[in-house]
Amino acid sequence: MEYTPGRRITLLSLVDELLLCIIEHIDTQEALVNLATTCSRFQGLTEPFVWRSVLVRKGSHAREITNTLMKRPERASFIHDLAIRYASMHEKGIQDLNLVLPHLNKLRHLTIESPCPNNGPWRTGGVEFTSQTRIDYTSLLEASIDPQLKPPRLSMLQSLTLHGHGHGDNKFTFGRNAVIFLHPSLRNLTISCSNFAADITPDDIPQEMQKSTPLTSLTFIECNVSVELLDIVLGFPRALKELSIGERLFAFPGCFPKTTLGVEQSRFLRALSKQGDSLELLRHIGGYSRLWPPSPADYPNFRSLKNLRRLELGFESTLRHYLHVCNAPESLKSLKMYDGGLVNIRNVSTLQHLQFVWSSSTELALLRIPKTCAFEVCFTHHGPTDARPVEDIPPVWRAQTQRNGVYNIAKPLKARGGRFRIFGQEFPTRNKTFIPPYMYGEDLPIETLLYDSEELWKFAGVNYRSLDAEEGLLNKESSSTGS
């Protein structure tokens, strides 16, 4: 476009390419909609951006979207990110989306979050759960791997977050949804509040499916995880990098675990070893379980995770016991421990709880991880038992004997080039707490730093250097660190 001095350049005089670059940087849905209503040219340019990311919270909105897409089917290809997250009072009409979901041929990210039987009036089991997921995600997932369907369904899907429930006795059943692990483009998968089991055996899986999928991240939140199914699905990814297994910490009628991964230790470790060459992050919260000792025959399997960088475990995890016996892989850069499972299964005082944590942590930090590996402990906010670590722990540290448990870990670790940090979970609003999986609109716990060995003498903001120096601790620290 030739520039003439004195000529006024308006937004509409710009070429489409420049306008699209400007529209690309508009970060609110409201602003995009307002721009689209100014003129027909802007409507045509902004419409793909308006539809790119869609959040559905109510059935009435689901019906509007469905009607619009059925009138103008080309809009279906504009949707890249769809989140369906609704409460039970707004579920009527959500099912209309089943008509258009198979036709979202450019969909990259899908979230399905329906009402949870562990919330509201259904938690105690006294009221029948009738709010099963209105989205037929099982049929959708089965269609997505059917090579006979033309055009293919959800062929560009990269991430799926699934919190769905069936009807009656099947409200927690995962079952047929296991087909999602065969999806040819999926890279990130999160499953929550499910009994992760299915009637599948290794003999049902063709050999060509082994190491065939691009899945790189797999997360379970508050799930009863069958080691049989876990063993099978961990054989599919070519190179899984992140695996987070959160077994049930909060078990209510209908979802109490029949068994845990701690019971099936041998098979659990064999399953993990299938991704031993690629796994960089491993997280395991043992959940509503007891403290399981390891089986000696399985010690070598843990060391097969030779590329592991980050390890996060509950103190109740069977993997903690393996660390005590066979050490962490030399590749490990950080180990973080959580106490949520202990709070569930141990009815002890704060002092007794801390003593157990420090005694277990001392050996892990000083003898079982690489010398420069960072070590962290996170104390979990636990609503049912009113465990509030950010409030409960700092007063305990006023006693020097309680600080000594921390020094016993922090000083040697710091001296050899490592780092020790302690966190406590808290919610933004003191008397408003939630349990995982955290639903739309629920606050997530915040991890507050309570201690950092980089500031050796400071506990929850209080510096005890002068007090502890009077007891000779300062001299001991100076001689051990050279400071």
CA distances in angstroms from 56 to 60, 64, 95, 110, 114, listed in the order given: 9, 10, 12, 11, 11
Say if residue 481's pLDDT is above 70: no
Query: Using 50, 70 and 90 to split pLDDT, how confident is the model at 175?
Result: very high
DSSP string, 109-121: EEEEE---TTSGG
Higher pLDDT, 5 or 373: 373
Higher pLDDT, 139 or 205: 139
Domain ranges of the chain: 34-171, 214-332, 342-483
Query: Using 50, 70 and 90 to split pLDDT, how confident is the model at 483?
Result: very low
Q: What is the pLDDT of residue 418?
A: 96
Find where tokens 């079982």 sit: 368
Q: What is the pLDDT of residue 475?
A: 47
Supply the pTM of this predicted model: 0.89
220 membership: H or E segment, kind and range: strand 217-225
CA distances in angstroms from 128 to 59, 84, 382, listed in the order given: 22, 23, 27
Ranges 47-56, 76-85, 171-180: which has the least confidence: 47-56
DSSP string, 36-103: HTT-HHHHHHHHHHHTTEEEE-SHHHHHHHHHHHHHSGGGGGG--EEEEE--GGG-TTGGGGGGTGGG
189 membership: H or E segment, kind and range: strand 188-192
| pLDDT tens-digit map of 228-287 | 999 999 999 999 999 999 998 887 767 777 766 766 677 888 899 999 999 999 999 987
